[in-house]
């Protein structure tokens, strides 16, 4: 058992180093550089893993990862949708910096990371065929409502909005999808997380 203190100079120096995650996604090896302070820096979170297991991705999809963190969802999508473009956005500038680095680390030159609070830095004429988000429950119903309305307006006809969320907001998301999109499909119900999809008519 280590006796090194969490607060020792040696420990603190190690915390300043980037962490690395290697994973496999649909036959591709993906690498992610992360750091403390970002969401789930040591491993891919269970919600994102569940979404990626149950999402359909087309090679020519134009994708948007809303609230990208260091880029798990967006980079996984971009690795399949090689004939489209992928945009990753987050309100945290550190997350955006790491998303940019991870796009380059995985050789994805059709991938872009941008600082944005929700959709507020996405031009009205930017449209996508697939929008994904690991929805944070703590942002509140007001911000979640903005996400749903803005996702609808930024989807091409037939475009899909796929989200994963904790069970506590499952019913809110279901009601919102039906009101905003007119449809709702549960792709997977786990013990903690739900993956849902809505399609723009």
CATH assignment, 21-199: 3.40.50.150
Average pLDDT over residues 128-150: 94
* Residues 165 and 24: beta-carbon distance below 8 Å: no
* Residues 147 and 135: beta-carbon distance below 8 Å: yes
Give me the residues paired with residue 185 across strands: 197
Phi, psi of 42 (to 5 degrees): -95, -20
Q: At 1, is the pLDDT very low, low, confident or very high (cuts 50, 70, 90)? A: very low
Q: At 14, is the pLDDT very low, low, confident or very high (cuts 50, 70, 90)? A: confident
pLDDT at position 2 is 52
pLDDT at position 138 is 85
* Residues 146 and 118: beta-carbon distance below 8 Å: yes
Residue 80 has pLDDT above 70, yes or no: yes
* Residues 199 and 151: beta-carbon distance below 8 Å: no
């Amino acid at each position: 058992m280590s006796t090194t203190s969490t607060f020792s100079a040696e420990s603190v120096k190690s915390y300043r180093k980037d962490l690395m995650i290697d994973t496999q996604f649909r036959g591709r090896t993906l690498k992610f550089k992360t750091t403390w302070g970002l969401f789930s820096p040591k491993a891919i979170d269970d919600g994102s893993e569940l979404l990626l297991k149950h999402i359909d991705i087309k090679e020519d999809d134009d994708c948007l990862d809303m609230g990208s963190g260091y880029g798990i969802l967006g980079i996984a999508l971009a690795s399949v949708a090689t004939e489209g473009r992928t945009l990753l956005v987050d309100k945290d500038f550190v997350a955006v910096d790491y998303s940019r680095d991870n796009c380059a680390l995985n050789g994805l030159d059709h991938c872009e990371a941008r600082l944005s609070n929700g959709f507020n830095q996405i031009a009205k004429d930017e449209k996508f065929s697939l929008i994904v988000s690991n929805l944070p429950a703590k942002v509140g119903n007001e911000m979640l409502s903005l996400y749903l309305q803005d996702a609808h307006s930024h989807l091409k006809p037939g475009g899909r909005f796929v989200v994963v969320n904790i069970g506590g907001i499952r019913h809110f998301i279901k009601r919102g999808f039906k009101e905003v999109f007119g449809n709702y499909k549960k792709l997977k119900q786990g013990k903690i997380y739900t993956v849902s999809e809505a399609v723009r008519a």
